[in-house]
Amino acid sequence: MTTRAEIAAKLDDFAFQKVNFGGFLMNKRAKNSHALWMRASDKGVTELTLLTSRDYGEGNVYDVATFTLDGTVPEQTLAELRPQADRLADSINLREHGYVYTCLEPWDGGGAIWISKKPEFRALSRAQEGVYVVPIQRLSGLGEPRWLAWVREGGQLHIAIVYKP
């Protein structure tokens, strides 16, 4: 079984980031993520906990997940967040809110990414307690998202899902 520490060590290798964060933009995302990862001192890997999921068919699966930077979301918090995420997923279109997080970028969009204009699921977060909630659009064929890389730089939390640990 892969551990958080093993994945974090692999993220130092550009080739590993290229496999996870590369793509159609000529690996610009992987290069930017690798540079951010390497210069940051406050970084790590944590596990995601799925709060709810919706399968819209034909590989269109969306999740609402939560995480803390140390990997442990308290059970009481999970018990409170699950029904809230479920209700919200039923009341608004989760497909319009899901995001792929395929490179290290601001967890809240940082005002520059369209996700910043859709705060409903992130509003379930308890950032002051270190508990974050994100809506995720799964990458087709890669299964349930489990691992999340994070970097804190300049007070901004950047995240990316690691699908291929």
Q: What pLDDT, on the 0 to 100 scale, is given for residue 43? A: 97
What pLDDT score was predicted for residue 139? 80
pLDDT value at residue 26: 55
Tell me the residue range of the domain where 62 lies. Answer: 4-162
Are 86 and 51 in contact by the 8 Å Cβ rule? The answer is yes
Q: Are 121 and 88 in contact (CB under 8 A)?
A: yes
Nearest Cα to 37, choosing from 14, 15, 19, 20? 14
Six-digit token pair at 19? 């496999």
What pLDDT, in 10s, does the model give residues 64-118? 999 999 878 999 999 999 999 999 998 988 888 888 888 899 988 888 777 777 8
- Indicate the SS3 state at residue 126: strand
- The three-state secondary structure class of 79 is helix
pTM: 0.91
Q: Which two tokens stand for residue 165?
A: 């640990």
Q: Can you tell me the distance from the alpha carbon of 5 to that of 47, in angstroms, rounded to the nearest whole number?
A: 11
pLDDT digits (tens, 9 = 90+) for 119-132: 899 999 999 999 99
Rounded to a whole number of angstroms, the CA Rg of the chain reads: 15
**For helices 28-39 and 14-21, angle between their N-to-C axes, nearest 10 degrees:** 130
Q: Is 155 exposed, middle or buried (0-12, 13-18, 19+ CB in 10 A)?
A: exposed
Number of domains in the chain: 1
